[in-house]
Amino acid sequence: MIEKKVEIKGVNPAEFFGVNNDKFKHIKSFFPNLKISSRGNHISFSGDVEMVGVFEDKLKLIVQYLKKFNSISENNIDNLMEEEGKAIVADDHGNGIIVHGNEGLKVRARTLNQQKLVKAVNTSDMVFAVGPAGTGKTYTAVALAVRALKEKEVKRIILTRPAVEAGENLGFLPGDLKEKLDPYMMPLYDALRDMIPAERLKEMLEFGVIEIAPLAFMRGRTLDKAFVILDEAQNATKMQMKMFLTRMGMTAKFVVTGDMSQIDLPRSQQSGLSFALDILKDTDGIEVIRLNQNDVIRHPLVKKIIDAFDKADEIEKKERITKKENDERSARKK
């Protein structure tokens, strides 16, 4: 048995402890066998020698994370508690900053898998980033594209999405084709607006330095000297995916992002992303990064929502299998 006391300094105590001590309680939940208490900025803890050492290391890691990112969520804490947690706050180029955005915004890879995505794009010309909503797939990819453009590694950025309606009909929206599609492309515009001044972005869009277009517009083209992102790729058909991937020029970077839980294609049609991941998974030069709930950096409720939907899907899947087995047994008896 050993007892220790450490002082939390150099960071905002309110951000460390959270509202009503919620974040501190979350940290404590990982160490049920330790006696942990706080008074002001001082934390006292006692228990098994080895576990006390682990807890002290994790506290240092959390403080390092706060010094680097200025804020921390329960999801971030979950990541830091994992074995590879140190990699998230490890010293790296530019202190982990991918690109400097507007109004002092520093766009960083905030989770381990986001960092893996950055590394994959740095080392491979084609990368698939797959994971649920809120994991930063698109945002991180756009930041990497903006960085590549600023550093003159590419001459243009091309952002594309398959124009598949998510329960809505584009045909009933007012305006011409561009006006119909612009709202659908809004997440891409939103990311760019964080990273490029408005007037400069307007010029880049006007002169084609940055192009945002539906996937169908890629047919017949060779995309060279460009950073190309296919977003919402789960809604591309097999033929569309083949068409897109074969547009790759000699000096291009391709990033494909998607969420396999949000396929809006007809049930009879296989997702091109699913098909591509299956047949290309062992191809040299192509990397696949899989993000998960621990990478969610939106409101804490988003992670809980994803977990609830995943559990419901699993129950539904089991019920379908059970029903199919029962139907087959009934058929055999007849």
Q: Which domain holds residue 244?
A: 92-298
Asked if the structure places residue 329 within a domain, the reply is no
Query: β-strands 226-230, 156-161: how paired?
Result: parallel
Asked if the structure places residue 316 within a domain, the reply is no
Residues 165 and 264 in one domain: yes
- What is the predicted pLDDT for the residue at 171? 52
Residues 11 and 27 in one domain: yes
Residues 65 and 121 in one domain: no
Of 51, 66, 87, the last residue of a domain is: 87
User: CB–CB of 204/192 below 8 Å?
Assistant: no
Q: Which residues, in sequence order, are CB contacts of 155 under 8 Å at separation 6+? A: 149, 209, 225, 226
Asked if the structure places residue 167 within a domain, the reply is yes
Alpha helices of the chain — where are they, by DSSP H? 13-17, 22-28, 49-69, 74-81, 112-123, 137-150, 177-181, 186-195, 198-206, 238-245, 272-280, 300-333
Asked if the structure places residue 325 within a domain, the reply is no
pTM of the model: 0.69
Express each pLDDT in 273-307 by its tens digit: 999 999 998 899 999 999 988 787 766 677 778 77
Query: β-strands 126-130, 97-100: how paired?
Result: unpaired
- What is the predicted pLDDT for the residue at 290? 94
Residues 152 and 272 in one domain: yes
User: Does residue 94 register a pLDDT over 70?
Assistant: no
Residues 203 and 284 in one domain: yes
The mean pLDDT value of the chain amounts to: 85
Of 72, 87, 102, the last residue of a domain is: 87
Residues 128 and 220 in one domain: yes
Residues 140 and 267 in one domain: yes
Residues 103 and 15 in one domain: no
Residues 28 and 74 in one domain: yes
Of 87, 102, 124, the last residue of a domain is: 87
Number of structural domains found in the chain:
2
- What is the predicted pLDDT for the residue at 167? 42
Residues 102 and 130 in one domain: yes
- The CATH number of residue 204's host domain is 3.40.50.300
Residues 134 and 275 in one domain: yes
Express each pLDDT in 173-198 by its tens digit: 555 555 656 676 788 888 899 999 88
- The CATH number of residue 29's host domain is 3.30.1370.10
Residues 147 and 291 in one domain: yes
The angle subtended at Cα 198 by Cα 172 and Cα 134, nearest 5°, is 65
Asked if the structure places residue 318 within a domain, the reply is no
- What is the predicted pLDDT for the residue at 254? 97
